[in-house]
């Protein structure tokens, strides 16, 4: 069995390759797809040029593989056509398992990031691919910049209110992708994946305090106040609005659900918030 991992040099893709190897996959059965194959971290695995915007490279990369792990693209607004290229190539190649890293409740969520994932899931279904959908919650590592800022200012400011986030480390989510790639029995499943504990931003500030050794306070703000502050910090109107919309989604509960599915898949508890943050401190 050969497994293609797209985005293999990205933060999640490289960890998926690590997890596949740790779980006993033959290095030569793993195909690392990347725009720049010289950046693939593990020299034991096979590499192939794969650029989401270059359909020919996608077709060549998918040719002859059994399983495709489509790590969602990072270019917001461009993901649907990029993902379509991989989906079309996988269908033409007759892959036997197609795994996609989606977003929480992608088909029903109001989260500003959800529509592209919803569209991708619909493309996968329309193509009739034998698929497994991994709806990954927030990565704890997303808060590295907030942690660094809080270490300097002692303040965590956000428009999330009392909203909760069931984050986990990227390695946790990467292990889940490796499990469903290597095991039988997952095709047709849609897994909502999150950390074992859904925390508030007050909890996040407390975690920052523990790590930095200084008291960090959470200061909640309204969406309008947040947009104004982000504009004052140099962000353009569109980016400031996007960040505020993400926080509004969190405030509304878009990332709050956790039912232990991720822990059951990987066979261990998910990485605690403080431990995940320490890794990026």
DSSP string, the chain: --EEESSTTSHHHHHHHHHHHHTT--GGGEEEEESSGGG-S-TTSEEEE--TT-HHHHHHHHTT-SEEEEPPPS-TTTHHHHHHHHHHHHHHHT-SEEEEEE-TTTTT---TTHHHHHHHHHHHHHHT--EEEEEE--BGGGGHHHHHHHHHHSEEEES-TT--B--B-HHHHHHHHHHHHHSSS-TT-EEEE--SS-B-HHHHHHHHHHHHSS--EEEE--HHHHHHHHHHTT--HHHHHHHHHHHHHHHTTTT----SHHHHHHTSPPPPHHHHHHTT-
- pLDDT, position 77: 83
Query: Of 193, 187, 149, nearest to 12 (Cα)?
Result: 193
The half-sphere exposure of 42 on its side-chain side, counting CA atoms within 13 A, is: 23
What's the rounded Cα separation, in Å, for the pair 137 and 56? 32
Express each pLDDT in 48-60 by its tens digit: 999 999 999 999 9
| Residue 74 vs residue 146, higher pLDDT | 146
Express each pLDDT in 2-34 by its tens digit: 999 999 999 999 999 999 999 999 999 999 999
Express each pLDDT in 148-174 by its tens digit: 999 999 999 999 999 999 999 999 999
- pLDDT, position 155: 96
Report whether pLDDT(74) > 90.
no
- pLDDT, position 105: 96
Percentage with pLDDT > 70 across the chain: 100
Considering Cα of 29, then 100, then 83, then 9, what sign does the dihedral take? negative
Residue 253: which region, alpha, beta or left (left: phi > 0; alpha: psi -120 to 50)?
Answer: left
Q: What confidence tier does 75 reach under pLDDT thresholds 50, 70, 90?
A: confident
Express each pLDDT in 214-237 by its tens digit: 999 999 999 999 999 889 989 898
Q: What confidence tier does 76 reach under pLDDT thresholds 50, 70, 90?
A: confident
Query: Of 199, 189, 83, nearest to 135 (Cα)?
Result: 189
Minimum mean pLDDT range among 20-24, 96-100, 230-234, 246-250: 230-234
- pLDDT, position 233: 85
Across the range 188-201, mean pLDDT stands at 98
pTM of this structure: 0.96
- pLDDT, position 41: 86
């Amino acid at each position: 069995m050969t497994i293609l991992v797209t985005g293999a040099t990205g933060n999640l893709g490289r960890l998926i390759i690590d997890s596949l190897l740790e779980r006993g996959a033959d290095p030569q059965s793993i195909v690392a797809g990347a725009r720049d194959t010289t950046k693939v971290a593990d020299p034991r695995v096979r590499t192939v040029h794969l650029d989401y915007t270059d359909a020919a490279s996608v077709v060549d990369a998918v040719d002859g593989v059994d399983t495709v792990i489509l790590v969602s693209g990072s270019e917001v607004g461009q993901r649907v056509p990029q993902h379509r290229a991989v989906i079309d190539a996988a269908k033409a190649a007759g892959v036997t398992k197609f795994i996609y890293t989606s977003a929480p409740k992608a088909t029903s969520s109001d989260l500003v990031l959800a529509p592209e994932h919803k569209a991708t899931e619909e493309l996968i279904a329309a193509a009739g691919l034998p698929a497994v959908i991994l709806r990954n919650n927030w990565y704890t590592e997303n808060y590295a910049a907030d942690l660094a800022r809080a270490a300097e200012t002692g303040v965590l400011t956000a428009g999330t209110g009392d909203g909760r986030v069931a984050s986990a480390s990227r390695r946790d989510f990467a292990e889940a992708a490796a499990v469903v790639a290597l095991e039988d029995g997952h095709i047709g499943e849609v897994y909502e994946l999150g950390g074992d504990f859904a925390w508030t931003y007050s909890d996040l500030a407390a975690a920052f305090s523990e790590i930095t050794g200084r008291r960090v306070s959470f200061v909640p703000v309204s969406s309008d106040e947040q947009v104004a502050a982000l504009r004052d910090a140099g962000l353009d109107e569109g980016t400031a609005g996007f960040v505020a919309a993400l926080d509004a989604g969190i405030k509304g509960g878009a990332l709050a659900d956790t039912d232990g599915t991720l822990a059951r898949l990987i066979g261990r508890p998910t990485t605690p918030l403080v431990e995940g943050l320490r890794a990026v401190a």
